[in-house]
Structure 1
Amino acid sequence: MRAIVVDDEALARERLIDLLGEIGSVEVIAEARDGREAIEAVEAHRPDLLLLDIRMPRMDGLEAARHLGSFEHPPAIVFCTAYDEHALAAFDANAVDYLVKPIRIERLRMALERAGRFNHEVLHALDNDDSTRRQRSHLCARVRGSLVLVPIVDIDYLLAEDKYVVVHHAGSEVLIEESLKALEVEFGERFVRIHRNCLVALNKLAGLTRAADGRVLAKLDNVDAELEVSRRNLPALRKLVRTL
């Protein structure tokens, strides 16, 4: 079994790799320090197994698992945590497992056996379980076959087009297959709806202006796009702009 070990503490990674070496049935092909590095490592190495810490900077293990659920062939995941309250009800004990640090070799061996019976539906269950669903720090997209992770803090606005949403960020854009409504529910504190097809980042909103044809446009810091405000959303947006 080919595995990646993910933990923000180097000593924790070393200890886990040593334990895996004693068991002997797992080849550690890469290490990662946070959830974002874990996703990139899975993309690059296509492991069978991910030994994944939960509390990590930049992106935690739960969010990384949600992103991995969109992969065609995601790895089995065994969570490793110092906090036993992170027992994940969304995961069937016969499919994947979680380990409480300090990890014992007998318990690790049992988790590896369970991970061998992993199936894709487990990550799908996690993604749809409200008890584990929290606001993400990144959006995940595919660009010409490559994985792109866009930090939420870098997004200027989100524009719905057909069944896709175009994520405009830092002078670039990517397509994601998510609904604008779902994004509004998840990130409602960060974005404001200006039109039925557009959400703009609150921290980028600079004001309103009127075009020569009478349309009201939202102005965003360092963004040249003309983003029309609908009549329905205009009253609330005017009140919001006054508070900026």
Structure 2
Amino acid sequence: MRIVVCDDEPLARERLVRIVQESGYEVVAQATTGAEAVTAVKLQQPDVILLDIRMPEMDGVRCAHILNELEHPPAIIFVTAYDHYAITAFKANAIGYLLKPANKDELLEALSKAKNLNAAQLNQIRKLEDPAARPIREHISARTHRGVELIKLKDIYYFTADQKYVKVRHKDGVVLIDETLKELEEEFGDRLFRVHRNAIINLSFLDYLETIDSGQYQVRFKGIDEALAVSRRHLPSLREKIQSM
């Protein structure tokens, strides 16, 4: 697999190059700015680019958008010291987002993911001229005391509004994110369903709808002993959705 490494910090760049080469991959070019990275990709046609975000002249996010417009863009893995760009990075169709200093195992896992993408998946990632054709994220990013955590959408039970944040209940616990329910609902389409003004659920974990009292309803989930209230407004559409599943 052919790789371009782009980072304006020499030590960080050299470390990435060393890990990549020691792992049996080929580094075909190095770059220190986004502009240099674009030139290198056009010349070398790599499979993957390891891309920093905060760089002079052209940042990594802008670089990624330019690369995605090429006829044969590389898979993009961001490697950065800043955790707050995760959402932006995945909207730029990155397949990985690692925090510096990049953990070797996590880097190799990201490279393995890039290597295993088949042609159909890569083509889907590269359909960027039409925003509606862009691939939907498979992860939600959350900033925690451990840094940026990527939580698979398939492992999330539900999202609920929690003051100015959104609470994410997933298989391994709870995190808070600064996206809105509306944004999540719009992006993830038919995989999420609103059951209340303050709650949307992952339909994959919907077990059943039950009556509690006085005409009130709640949803139960597969795998956890928890329930969420269903509002009267959303009850008819939820019943219709359940019947169609």
TM-score bin (small chain) = 0.5 to 0.7
**Match of 1:111?**
none
**Match of 2:25?**
14
Structure 1 unaligned regions, length at least 5: 27-48, 80-85, 90-96, 102-119
**Match of 2:204?**
203
Q: How many residues are aligned here?
A: 171
CA distance in 1, matches of 2:173, 2:182: 22
Tell me the CA shift for residue 220 of structure 1.
1.1
**Match of 1:186?**
187
Distance 1:209 1:125, change over 3 A: closer
CA distance in 1, matches of 2:46, 2:166: 29
1:134 aligns with 2:135: yes
Tell me the CA shift for residue 87 of structure 1.
3.9
**Match of 1:117?**
none
**Match of 2:227?**
226
1:212 partner amino acid = D
Tell me the CA shift for residue 14 of structure 1.
2.5
CA distance in 2, matches of 1:175, 1:139: 10
Distance 1:205 1:100, change over 3 A: closer
**Match of 1:148?**
149
CA distance in 2, matches of 1:153, 1:55: 27
2:68 partner amino acid = L
Aligned residue for 1:187, secondary structure, equals: helix
**Match of 1:88?**
68
Tell me the CA shift for residue 207 of structure 1.
1.4
1:175 partner amino acid = L
CA distance in 2, matches of 1:216, 1:241: 14
Distance 1:98 1:211, change over 3 A: same
Tell me the CA shift for residue 145 of structure 1.
4.6
2:136 partner amino acid = Q
CA distance in 2, matches of 1:229, 1:133: 32
CA distance in 2, matches of 1:146, 1:10: 27
1:230 partner amino acid = S
Tell me the CA shift for residue 126 of structure 1.
8.7
Tell me the CA shift for residue 223 of structure 1.
2.2
Distance 1:15 1:175, change over 3 A: same
The TM-score with structure 1 as length reference comes to: 0.54
1:88 partner amino acid = N
CA distance in 2, matches of 1:150, 1:137: 8
The TM-score with structure 2 as length reference comes to: 0.54
Tell me the CA shift for residue 222 of structure 1.
1.6
Structure 2 unaligned regions, length at least 5: 1-9, 75-83, 93-127
RMSD between aligned residues: 4.7
2:185 partner amino acid = E
Q: What pairs up with 1:101-120 in 2 under 5 angstroms?
A: none
Q: Among all aligned residue pairs of Structure 1 and Structure 2, give the percentage whose two residues are the same amino acid.
A: 29
1:167 partner amino acid = V
Q: More helix by proportion, 1 or 2?
A: 2
